[in-house]
Amino acid sequence: MPTRRRFLQHSACLAAITALAPWLGSSPAFALNSLMQRKIPSSGELLPVIGLGTSRTHDVALDEEHLGPLREVLRTLVNGGASLIDTAPSYGRAEAVCGALAAEDMMRKRLFLASKVSSSGREAGQRQIAASFAALQTERIDLMQVHNLQDTETQLRLLRKLKEQGKVRYIGVTHYLDSAHEHLLQVLRREPLDFVQFNYSVGERNAERELLPFCADKGIAVLINRPFQRAALFDKVRDKDLPDWAMIELGASSWAQLMLKFILANPAVTAVIPATSNPRYMADNLKAGLGELPDARQRQRIVELFA
Ligand SMILES: NC(=O)c1ccc[n+]([C@@H]2O[C@H](COP(=O)([O-])OP(=O)(O)OC[C@H]3O[C@@H](n4cnc5c(N)ncnc54)[C@H](OP(=O)(O)O)[C@@H]3O)[C@@H](O)[C@H]2O)c1
């Protein structure tokens, strides 16, 4: 277990690197450590455990004023060793924003792009998927998911065909409510899928009961949405200091990192996708994918901090 002394030495070392190499920006830690990766069970491909959500944060005008900070978020993501971006046609201009940024500086090659279909009926689904390819400015989408289990069977048929054609690499389904977990399980029992995406956090732990163990057992990759419950979890610790043990034992230097480490401690989780429009938050979130993860006792202490 890391000691306080080792932690302080490490911090001093990072500070020195930042001073010597300012171009490393806000993520000097990656010069020393590499971001954790986990296998996608259906292929064995490794995926970095920290990704980026885009709901609301990326629904902005496609002008330099708005794209500038989001470009920095994306650069921070890839320079930190991550690649996954999750978007959707229902997130306003987010897909087009991701597509515009991915088209710059060969960025697309460094990204694992995930989007969704949220249509009813075959033709509507085909139209929406075609629009996603156009908005994302790509010929291949890494992961396509049926959004919120809308018209699941019809849309999955479309996604399977795209996978056969090599236009989509992986397919899955998503939801964001505890009340939909049973429905997700029914679909996962019936359909062979590469990925499933659902809500799980220190504040919403229902997935621990059945979904997460089921996915681990069946070999389904898991993406976690709403890791901060849309930032509501920060309110629960607003007046508290991050405890020393979180820094010393886990190397967590922010509440965000502690919340993300709590999620990543579950071995069924493949990656987590916190949304942000702030490059500093992106760098902060990436650090959760470095160093130690909490054991059962430490997880219980984290739960108590947010009770
Ligand atoms: N049904 C579905 O498929 C579904 C449903 C829900 C979510 N999702 C996906 O999951 C993603 C994440 O969920 P979410 O967007 O609902 O909520 P979230 O990731 O739990 O929370 C996002 C909020 O946290 C803040 N934040 C991010 N990093 C932070 C940090 N290090 N310190 C302090 N604040 C931080 C952001 O602030 P700023 O805005 O200031 O950056 C933003 O307001 C979505 O964007 C979407 O891609 C999918």
**pLDDT digit string, tens, across residues 249-298:** 999 999 999 999 999 999 999 999 999 999 999 999 999 999 999 999 99
Give the pLDDT score at 105: 86
Give the pLDDT score at 24: 40
Q: Tokens 């070392």 — which residue? A: 13
Residue 123: CB atoms within 10 Å: 8
pLDDT band of residue 213 (cuts 50, 70, 90) is very high
The average pLDDT across 111-115 equals: 98
Give the pLDDT score at 82: 98
Q: What is the pLDDT of residues 124-154, one digit of tens each?
A: 999 999 999 999 999 999 999 999 999 999 9
pLDDT band of residue 33 (cuts 50, 70, 90) is low
Residues 6 or more apart whose CB falls under 8 angstroms from that of 185 comprise 210, 211, 214
The average pLDDT across 186-211 equals: 98
What separation in Å is there between the alpha carbon of 201 and the centre of ligand 1?
12
The average pLDDT across 176-198 equals: 98
Residue 18 pLDDT more than 50?
A: no
pLDDT band of residue 1 (cuts 50, 70, 90) is very low
What separation in Å is there between the alpha carbon of 231 and the centre of ligand 1?
7
- By most ligand atoms within 8 Å of CB, the mutation choice from 148, 175, 228 for ligand 1 is 228
Give the pLDDT score at 93: 98
179, amino acid identity: S
- By most ligand atoms within 8 Å of CB, the mutation choice from 145, 149, 225 for ligand 1 is 225
The average pLDDT across 87-98 equals: 98
Residue 31 pLDDT more than 50?
A: no
Residue 20 pLDDT more than 90?
A: no
Residue 21 pLDDT more than 70?
A: no
- List the residue whose alpha carbon is closest to atom 46 of ligand 1: 53
- List the residue whose alpha carbon is closest to atom 14 of ligand 1: 226
- List the residue whose alpha carbon is closest to atom 36 of ligand 1: 276
- By most ligand atoms within 8 Å of CB, the mutation choice from 226, 238, 257 for ligand 1 is 226
Residue 22 pLDDT more than 50?
A: no
Query: Would you say domain 44-232+256-291 falls under CATH 3.20.20.100?
Result: yes
Residue 103 φ then ψ, to 5°: -75, -15
- List the residue whose alpha carbon is closest to atom 44 of ligand 1: 53
Q: Which residues line ligand 1 (CB under 6 A)?
A: 53-55, 57, 86, 147-148, 174-176, 197, 225-231, 234, 256, 273-278, 281, 284-285
User: How does 69-107 read in b/e, with b if 16+ C-beta sit within 10 Å?
Assistant: bbbbbbbbbbbbbbbbbbbbbbbebbbbbbbbbbeeeeb
Cα distance between residue 49 and residue 29, in whole Å: 16
Average pLDDT, the chain: 92
Q: For the chain, what percent of residues have pLDDT higher than 70?
A: 89
Atom of ligand 1 nearest to the CA of 147: 3
